[in-house]
Amino acid sequence: MNEQLLIMLTFVQGTGTLAPVIFIFFHVIRQFIFIPVIMVCMAGGILFGSVLGTLFSMIGLLILSALFYFCIRKMPSTHEKLLKIKNKWFGRYAKMTVGQIAILRLIPFFHYHLLNLCLLERRPDFKGFMKGAFATNLPLAFFYTVFGEFITHFTPTISVIILLALLLLVYILREKMSTVAWNEFFSQENKTKNAC
């Protein structure tokens, strides 16, 4: 386990009644000390058990999503970087569905805020974004809190099978068509003709 995470576990265990508040706060600051969200959810299961660990992780993740919603527009360079990564990985015109985002959150190496950006494109209003954040964070918090200790005992073969199954689900849940504006389509075509 990550060294910072072990320090956090020890610290939170020693705080008594403030432990849930500190754990929720840790969900918000964990990105600045480069601890994956999955590790924090697993720690919630160890500290508080399945039900309370999932509840506290959900609260922390929803606060983090709300902060992302309000801060991303005030950070244009970060927004642009995330948009470039999104365009590179998923394509310029791809819009991820809420189901796809929920499944991609279960895959450990996907960037949490990149998926928040995909959700923001799908649901730009705050109420819709927070409903989507709840729907996409619940499987993440529940799965890694409840089953976190068992996941570490999986063989590499089982881990690869689970990962492939999740990627297949992302493909199945994709949006079946994309809309490209007339002007954008022809401007891309003209750029490629001029380049030749």
60-97, pLDDT tens digit by residue? 999 999 999 999 989 999 999 998 988 888 887 778 88
**What are the residues whose beta carbons fall under 8 Å from the beta carbon of 16, sequence distance 6 or more?**
none
pTM of the model: 0.73
Residue 82: which residues within 8 A CB-CB, separation 6 or more? Answer: 72, 111, 113, 114, 117
Give alpha helix (H) positions in the chain: 3-13, 19-29, 37-71, 76-90, 98-106, 112-122, 126-146, 148-151, 156-172, 182-195
> H-helix or E-strand containing 175?
none
179 CB contacts (<8 Å, ≥6 apart)?
Answer: 93
Per residue of the chain (196 residues), what is the pLDDT tens digit? 556 666 666 767 667 778 888 889 988 888 888 788 888 888 888 788 888 889 999 999 999 999 999 999 899 999 999 989 888 888 877 788 888 899 889 887 788 888 999 899 989 999 999 999 999 999 999 988 887 656 656 677 877 787 788 778 777 766 665 555 667 656 655 555 555 5
Residue 137 identity:
N
**The pLDDT of residue 30:** 85
CA 106 to the chain's CA centroid = 8
Q: Helix (H, G, I), strand (E, B), or coil: what is residue 113? A: helix
